[in-house]
Structure 1
Amino acid sequence: MTNRRTVLRGLAAAGGLLAAPAVLADGHGKPRVVVIGGGSGGATAARYLAKDSGGALDVTLVEPSRTYFTCYFSNLYLGGFQDMKDLGHTYGTLAGAHGVNVVHDWAVDVDRDAKTVALAGGAVLPYDKLILSPGIDFVDGAVPGWDVSKQNKMPHAYKAGSQTELLKAQLEAMPEGGTFAMVAPPNPYRCPPGPYERVSMVAHMLKARNPTAKILIVDPKEKFSKQGLFEEGWQAHYAGMIDRIGPDFGGDAVSVDPEAMTVDIDGSVEQVDVCNVIPAMKAGRIADMAGVTDGRWAPVNAADMSSKVDADVYVLGDAAQQGDMPKSGFSANSQAKVCANAVRGALTGSRVFPARFSNTCWSLISTEDGVKVGATYEATPEKIAKVDGFISQTGEDSALRKATYEESLGWYAGIVSDMFGV
């Protein structure tokens, strides 16, 4: 059975051929697909599997949160451009109109030999194919002095929802002329432009509420996504407010003291009023528990997002080590469609098309000052490989930047509909 699946997957990736449906080992009825994680990758995969199979697949989505808050656009909430309620989405339509069995529980174990998923509530879900889209967790000890027990003192706000609301409340309560510090993450991490859009949105809010406040970015990276665009925008809109310390000046040697509210930068201690610690990241814990990671990320085959460890397990989005695509919501959504097509083909014999991927990341710098970066990708035997790309240019006029921002609003509405079927 394993050899047959491998051959079918290879043929499908190479030529988009019709595959014979898989033979289910235990003789049960509909093929069963379990999806863990209800974000941009998991919700999209579950919806497309249920919708496109016409009821031929038994699709279960496991997601502990009843309301999913998108990490993308959460920075705009900090800047005052979005309400938190507009970032929260529920699963009712996905379950009711599309026939996905939505289970609100934590997946706590995967037995790949028995092909089962154990839930915190005691249920055990059998599967023929398992799709993991668990997002990120944080690397223990990545920022000395900080761990998740300190996240109320120094929020990460890199999983949207209560952490985002907490960070905004702290910023609003910051004393006049106070200092907001961000400890930026090392590569690779979720949403490469995200920390710097956050700085922009925090600066926008502080400019109106607390114009003498300062922003300090402590960054372990020599360069970052859209750097020229952000720096141009910061100079134009927030001159004198933002200071970035890179690795040349100690940005890669940082520790924090959440109780004292200090940041130690290579021996120089800075007193701060609000500190946003964004640690190094890794695949969500269930991927590690399933035994499909290399200790940090989950290596996958580019043609169908299947794990390089187990052909019946697939990994999407931020958790996957796939090649050139950034870890973004757009990427996860794009990968989910490729994966759903491949899984449906393997289980029902439907046509599998060659994998194609795309991504765009928009960022807002100030009011209607939007910029973007993106690319298209293809599957190669080694990885998801970039084909071509584009990026906003410095010096663009305000009309183009406004159009770029409005384009991002349309994308947000579209991806939410694509994920949840609303």
Structure 2
Amino acid sequence: MLSRRDFLKSMGATAALGTVPGFANAAGNGARGHVVVIGGGYGGATAAKYLRMWSQGSVEVTLIERNASFVSCPISNLVIGGLKQIEDITVSYANLQSKWGVKLVTDEVTAIDADKRTVTTAKNGSIAYDRLVMSPGISFIPGAIEGLDGNEELVPHAWKAGPQTALLRKRLEDMPDGGVFAMHIPRAPFRCPPGPYERACLVANYLRQSKPKSKVLVLDANGEIQSKKGLFTKAFEGYGELLEYVPNSTLRAVDARTRTAELEFDTIEADVLNVLPPMRAGEIAIQAGLPLINDRWVDVDWLTLEAKGVAGVHVLGDALFPAPAMPKSGHMANQHGKLAAAAILNLLQGMAPNPTPVVMNTCYSFVDGKNVIHVASVHQFDAASGKPMPVDGAGGLSPSANELEAKAALAWAKNIWADMLA
């Protein structure tokens, strides 16, 4: 078990150097092979870089990513709240290729054949692999909410950073003073547990300054706030009548044209309607027939992150069925990327993976333009359960929102983007 002191020391090393004790137990420079990585987010980009770095260039890595640049979901709520621009959360993939020798393929994966160990792409045809890393993120469950499918322009989710982020920001700018911004949160688990509550705060912060007659209505399908409950409750109270939180708000349907949300016991009309649809693993994981828990999230072996029963296919990040108390966060996906890279390098050399990996997480949340709260945790593999379990006494919560953590949050973003992509 890690002491709180050792945890804090390790977190500092993680932020500054991108290293965490307990991942690699082999140098990896004797490994040979070709690893294909699908998805260049927090998990996939990290895995691609660390496979090259830890193998000292002996393992060939191909990264297939549909987007030309990385756009971060963490920090994107600051764009919606008018405190950052989309350019501030966009990072090039160029260093992965020029500095680390990762082969970049801007394309869409259309099929995976785990038996033949090939992936098929829309433009580049078939690519063979020795090991496959999938970091597909999330997809939205089609038809889960009547009237929502196909109406993303009218009812944006902005839960995949990029054009939707800018679109939701514009909706806010165009909203009249005195208007209603209504946001619906799906039942957990969903990507980034504190993210919706942070968004509510930053929208309220913008409206308080620019459109003070307006209202933020937070419609939560869950019975309570899903992360940092006490801290977010206090933050919500600080906005007074400007922000209203309504738990147990099950969404049945939407009318995208009129921006109307039909709840189980009520109907809400809004000037801006922001609906986060129910989520599951990224579509390519579904198409590939990987084993799912609750028909939504991929079931993995936590020592290697291989999909159970599918040899050679490793799955990272938000697509996984979470271990106990493990959030679907960017930081955790980055940790998954390193755990998988270390395991793959061992496996390519005929060695067993590290039997005691440790992963860590930190999530920062802005509650206004200057003050931030955080939650941190450490998860150590437990052989008895076969899962990473939370380490008692490690991590914890902010005592209160404060300005010092705002500096730490922005430094965290710069450090982890560099860890992945520089």
Deviation of residue 310 (structure 1)?
1.3
User: 1:19·1:349 contact (CA, 8 Å) conserved in 2?
Assistant: no
Deviation of residue 121 (structure 1)?
0.8
Show the counterpart of 1:392: 397
Show the counterpart of 1:3: none
Per-residue CA distance 1:277-331 (angstroms, 9 max, x = gap): 1011100011112221313111111112111121311000000124121100000
Q: Distance in 2 between matches of 1:404 and 1:259?
A: 40
Show the counterpart of 1:209: 210
User: 1:19·1:346 contact (CA, 8 Å) conserved in 2?
Assistant: no
Show the counterpart of 2:73: 71
Q: Distance in 2 between matches of 1:296 and 1:108?
A: 19
Note if 1:292 corresponds to 2:296: no
Q: Distance in 1 between matches of 2:28 and 2:367?
A: 48
Deviation of residue 15 (structure 1)?
11
The CA RMSD over aligned residues, in Å, is 2.1
TM-score (norm 1): 0.89
Letter in 2 for 1:312: G
Q: What SS class does the counterpart of residue 308 from structure 2 fall into? A: coil
**Stretches of 4+ moved more than 6 A in 1?**
17-22
User: 1:35·1:62 contact (CA, 8 Å) conserved in 2?
Assistant: yes
Show the counterpart of 2:403: 402
User: 1:330·1:359 contact (CA, 8 Å) conserved in 2?
Assistant: yes
Q: Distance in 2 between matches of 1:390 and 1:342?
A: 25
**111-120 vs 402-411, which moves further:** 402-411
Letter in 2 for 1:371: I
TM-score (norm 2): 0.89
User: 2:261·2:267 contact (CA, 8 Å) conserved in 1?
Assistant: yes
Per-residue CA distance 1:69-116 (angstroms, 9 max, x = gap): 100000011222222101111111110110000100001100011100
Letter in 1 for 2:405: T
Q: What SS class does the counterpart of residue 366 from structure 1 fall into? A: coil
Deviation of residue 378 (structure 1)?
1.2
2:256 to 245, 255, 258: 258
Note if 1:365 corresponds to 2:363: no
Matches within 5 A, 1:110-259: 110-147=112-149, 149-223=150-224, 224-236=226-238, 238-247=239-248, 251-259=249-257
Letter in 2 for 1:313: V
Q: What SS class does the counterpart of residue 101 from structure 2 fall into? A: coil
Count matched residues. Answer: 393
Judging changes above 3 Å, is the alpha-carbon distance between structure 1 residues 278 and 21 closer, same or farther for their aligned structure 2 residues?
same
Uncovered stretches (5+) of structure 1, i.e. residues with no partner:
1-12, 23-29
Show the counterpart of 1:9: none
Q: Distance in 2 between matches of 1:339 and 1:319?
A: 14
Uncovered stretches (5+) of structure 2, i.e. residues with no partner:
1-21
Q: Distance in 2 between matches of 1:393 and 1:98?
A: 37
Q: Distance in 2 between matches of 1:369 and 1:33?
A: 42
**252-261 vs 325-334, which moves further:** 252-261
Q: What SS class does the counterpart of residue 202 from structure 1 fall into? A: helix
Deviation of residue 217 (structure 1)?
1.3
How much identity, in percent, do the aligned residues show?
37
User: 1:77·1:83 contact (CA, 8 Å) conserved in 2?
Assistant: yes
Q: Distance in 2 between matches of 1:85 and 1:365?
A: 22
Deviation of residue 144 (structure 1)?
2.2
Q: Distance in 2 between matches of 1:181 and 1:322?
A: 28
Deviation of residue 367 (structure 1)?
2.7
Q: Distance in 1 between matches of 2:236 and 2:270?
A: 21
User: 2:251·2:261 contact (CA, 8 Å) conserved in 1?
Assistant: no
Judging changes above 3 Å, is the alpha-carbon distance between structure 1 residues 76 and 14 closer, same or farther for their aligned structure 2 residues?
closer
Q: Distance in 2 between matches of 1:211 and 1:371?
A: 24
User: 1:220·1:246 contact (CA, 8 Å) conserved in 2?
Assistant: yes
Show the counterpart of 1:379: 381
Letter in 2 for 1:214: K
Judging changes above 3 Å, is the alpha-carbon distance between structure 1 residues 284 and 14 closer, same or farther for their aligned structure 2 residues?
closer
User: 2:138·2:318 contact (CA, 8 Å) conserved in 1?
Assistant: yes
Note if 1:279 corresponds to 2:273: no
User: 2:38·2:63 contact (CA, 8 Å) conserved in 1?
Assistant: yes
Deviation of residue 246 (structure 1)?
1.4
Q: What SS class does the counterpart of residue 208 from structure 1 fall into? A: helix
